[in-house]
Amino acid sequence: MNIHPTAVVSVKAKLHESVIVGPFSVIEDGVIIGAGTTVATHVRISGPCKIGENNIIDSFAALGGAPQDLGYTGEPTELILGNNNHIREYASIHRGTVKGGGRTVIGNNCLIMAYAHIGHDCIIEDYVIIVNAAHLSGHTEVGARATVGGLTGTHQFSRIGTFAFIGGGSAVSKDVPPYAMVTGERGQMHISGLNKVGLRRNGFSREIISRIDAAYRILFHSPELLHNEALDRVEHELGGCEEVDGLLAFIRSSKRGVVKRIKRR
């Protein structure tokens, strides 16, 4: 194990022998760190916190801190970080609350850029990118391979669907449907298109992209249809496709409502 002599590592922390800990970092009680993970200089990791393998945690990041919730009274909730993630400088990720399920969870292969904040009880799936200074409020859920633009903020309990792309400086107060490109201020969020570039880069076939696009046209470009009528029409005409079925399930399960407004050119 390569621990710099100026680092402070609790005897109640469990680090794999291959873990590297840089100068002046602090690793507290209840922290578990897996093989191949590198902790840079001046990092603070508080427990309970489970960190997987081959992560890179850059300088001045703060992981596992107590949730910013007035109802939190010191319960042993936790932060769980998967494998192959890169947490950049000054990022902060808080552990969960009892009322939120007790866990904040970050998946695998995520990039959390500098000064980003992930609040208590957030669920971040695999291959997510959180860009510089984006702030996710408590209980936010982000689907796999979504991108949250810089300086974006989310309302508590917001959901961001898989492959969604949120433009920088946005204020998310409603759920962002899968595959959408959205941007806008609070109450003025709008869909600017389908994230076709992201879909193509990740191997979606032309047929699948075409079906998703057709579903979007019915759902968001058919003002003559009521909400449930549009959902039923998509299910009838395009159902049986995993991606379309997932889109429908996301919208139907929304409690905050989804972004629907289309940017007019």
pLDDT single digits (tens) 57-66: 999 999 999 9
Catalytic residue among 138, 153, 167, 184: 138
Catalytic residue among 117, 120, 139, 190: 120
Domain ranges of the chain: 8-195, 198-253
Task: Output DSSP code: residue 141.
Answer: E
Catalytic residue among 58, 69, 121, 175: 121
pLDDT single digits (tens) 163-199: 999 999 999 999 999 999 999 988 788 999 999 999 9
Sequence-ordered alpha helix ranges (H) in the chain:
196-201, 206-220, 227-238, 242-252
Place of tokens 């910013």: 68
Strand order in the sheet with 62-65: 8-9, 26-27, 44-45, 62-65, 92-94, 117-118, 135-136, 153-154, 171-172
Residue 78 has pLDDT above 80, yes or no: yes
Kindly write down the DSSP assignment for every residue of 212-253, as one continuous string: HHHHHHHHHS-TTS-HHHHHHHHHHHHTT-HHHHHHHHHHHT
Residue 242, by phi and psi: left (phi above 0), alpha (psi -120 to 50) or beta?
alpha
Active site residue 138: yes
Mean pLDDT, rounded, for 252-258: 95
Residue 85 has pLDDT above 70, yes or no: yes
**CATH class name, domain 8-195:** mainly beta
Express as a percent the part of the chain with pLDDT over 90.
Answer: 94
Average pLDDT, the chain: 96
Active site residue 58: no
pLDDT band, very low/low/confident/very high, at 236 (cuts 50, 70, 90)? very high
Active site residue 120: yes
- Residue 113's pLDDT is 98
At position 158, the amino acid (one-letter code) is: S
> What does residue 249 show for φ and ψ, rounded to 5 degrees?
-65, -40
- Residue 264's pLDDT is 56
Residue 1 has pLDDT above 90, yes or no: no
Residue 50 has pLDDT above 70, yes or no: yes
pLDDT single digits (tens) 105-144: 999 999 999 999 999 999 999 999 999 999 999 999 999 9
- Residue 185's pLDDT is 86
Give me the architecture of the 198-253 domain, per CATH: Up-down Bundle (1.20)
Residue 265 has pLDDT above 70, yes or no: no
Q: Partners of 15 in the beta sheet?
A: 33
3-state secondary structure of 162: coil
Q: pTM of the full predicted structure?
A: 0.95
List CB contacts of 219: < 8 A, sequence separation 6 or more. 230, 231, 234, 247, 251, 260
